[in-house]
Amino acid sequence: MKVLVVGSGGREHAICWKLKQSPKVTELYCAPGNGGIAQVAQCVDIKATDVDAMVKWAKDNAMDLVVVAPDDPLALGMVDALEAAGIPAFGPRQNAAIIEASKAFSKELMKKYGVPTAKYETFTDLAAAQDYIRAQGAPIVVKADGLALGKGVVVAQTVEEALESVQAMMVDKKFGASGAKVVIEECMTGPEVTVLAFCDGATVVPMTSSQDHKRAYDGNRGPNTGGMGAISPSPYYTPQLAQQCMEEIFLPTVRAMAAEGRPFQGVLYFGLMLTPDGPRVVEYNARFGDPECQAVLSLLDSDLLDILLACREGRLDKADIRWRAEAACCLVLASGGYPGSYGKGYPIEGLDRVENAVVFHAGTAQKDGQIVTNGGRVLGVTAVAPTLEAAIDAAYAAATPIHFQDMTFRHDIGRV
C-alpha cells in the first residue's frame, strides 16, 4: 500500500517509523516531514494545513491511505476532503475533531453526558470573566477556547495572574482568534495521565498509558510547552483505574460523540487528572499526543497499518493490538528559549553515536547534507527497557553524545 502521513514533528516521525515496519506498506510518504523523517519516508513539500494541495497530491499519486496526524488539518476538515475525493483517510472528520478544536464544545459535551471534569464557565465578555475570577478566587485555570499549540492554558496561582491572562487572551489577542472565547475552570490536583485510544466510531481500544511533562523546566516549573518528554506506561495508572476510566470516561465519550452525530474515528487523546475524587478529564485531543506517541508506539507489538485500517473500516473490535510488557521513555531535546523565541539552523552533532535508543526528529531540517535545528522541540530520544527506571536511564544515556547550540532538556522526565 502507498501511505502518506501528514505532519512534520516527532509524532509523525514515530508514526512513519512504525508504519515502515509493516510488510504491507510498500511506499511511504510524509508531508511536509523533516530531516529525520526523510530517512524513513519520502518527504513531500506540502504544508500540513494546505488541504487542497494535499488532496490533489494524494489523488495524483494514488495513495491508498492518508494518516492525518496534527490537530490543525483535522480541524480544517482534511479527512473529509480526502474521503470526498475517494482517498481513504485516517483521523476524525471535522465535526468530530471539534472535541479538541473547541474547549467550549468539549466541556459542554462532558456536562451533557456526565463525563467527570473540572467545573467551569465559558465567557466571551471580558468584564463577566473578570467578575467570575474575583468571585471564585485562586488557584484558577484560564483557557483559550481554540487551538493554541498546547500553550493556551494558564494555571493561575493568584487572582491577579488570572486577570492578566484573560486580558492577554481576550484583549491583547495573544492566541489570535482562539482567545475570543475563554473557559475558566476549577483547579484540580493530582497526577496527570494520558490515555490514547484507537476509535472506530463505536469501539474504543485504549493504548498503553503514558505521561507527558508539559512544563518547560525541571520540577514542573515554567511555562507550558507542547511536551518536554514522556514515559509509558504511567506508574499511576492501575488496572482498577483503567477499568473505572473505561466505564466512566472512555465509553461514555465515544457514545456521546456518536449520539451527537459526530462519530469519532481516529485516535482520541484523553488527558486525565487522577484527583482525590477520582479520574477527571483535563482535555481531549483528536490525535496522538506528541511526545506521548513516541513512547507509546515504541511499545506497540502489532502492525500499526492494520489497526489504522480497522479503525477506518469500523472493525476495531476484531483488531490485533498487543503491547510489549516493557516501558519506554522519550526525552525531548529542545532549543534554548522554547516555548518562547529561539534560534534555528544550528548543526546537530553526535546523532551517529546514539546507542540503544531511537531518535525521533521533531524540529530538524537537512541543510547541505547536515541535520540542523529547525524548531523548538528538536529531537525525542526514545528508549525501551524492561522497567521504567531502566528506560529513563537508557534515554538519558543515549542522549549524551548529542549536541547543538543552546540545547536544553529536562533532567527529571519520568521522575516527577
Compute the distance between CA of residue 282 and CA of residue 151 in angstroms, rounded to an integer: 14
Subset of 208-237 contacting ligand GLY (CB under 6 A): 212, 226-227
Residue 80 partner contact from ligand AMP, ligand GLY, none using kind-dependent CB cut-offs of 5 to 8 Å: none
Residue 153 partner contact from ligand GLY, ligand AMP, none using kind-dependent CB cut-offs of 5 to 8 Å: ligand AMP
> How far apart are CB 336 and ligand AMP at their closest, in Å?
22
Cβ–Cβ contacts within 10 Å for residue 114, how many? Answer: 10
144 in contact with ligand AMP (CB under 6 A): no
> How far apart are CB 292 and ligand GLY at their closest, in Å?
6
Burial 44-53 (b: 16+ CB within 10 A, else e): bebebebbee
- Interface residue with ligand AMP among 12, 71, 100, 185 (CB under 6 A) is 185
Window 125-164: contact mask with ligand GLY (x via CB under 6 A): -------------------------x--------------
Residue 209 partner contact from ligand AMP, ligand GLY, none using kind-dependent CB cut-offs of 5 to 8 Å: none
DSSP letters of 160-190?
HHHHHHHIIIIIS-TTGGGGSSEEEEEPP-S
Beta pairing class for 364-367 and 370-373? antiparallel
Subset of 198-217 contacting ligand AMP (CB under 6 A): 214
- Interface residue with ligand GLY among 292, 298, 321, 373 (CB under 6 A) is 292
DSSP letters of 5-65?
EEE-SHHHHHHHHHHHT-TT--EEEEEE--TTGGGTSEE----TT-HHHHHHHHHHTT-SE
Burial 291-309 (b: 16+ CB within 10 A, else e): bbbbbbbbbbeebbbebbb
Residue 285 partner contact from ligand GLY, ligand AMP, none using kind-dependent CB cut-offs of 5 to 8 Å: ligand GLY
Compute the distance between CA of residue 105 and CA of residue 100 in angstroms, rounded to an integer: 8
SS3 state at 195: strand
Window 260-289: contact mask with ligand AMP (x via CB under 6 A): -----------x----------xx------
Q: Give the footprint of ligand AMP on this chain (CB under 6 A).
A: 118, 141, 143, 150, 153, 155, 185-188, 192, 214, 224, 271, 282-283
Q: Give the footprint of ligand GLY on this chain (CB under 6 A).
A: 150, 212, 226-227, 285, 289-290, 292
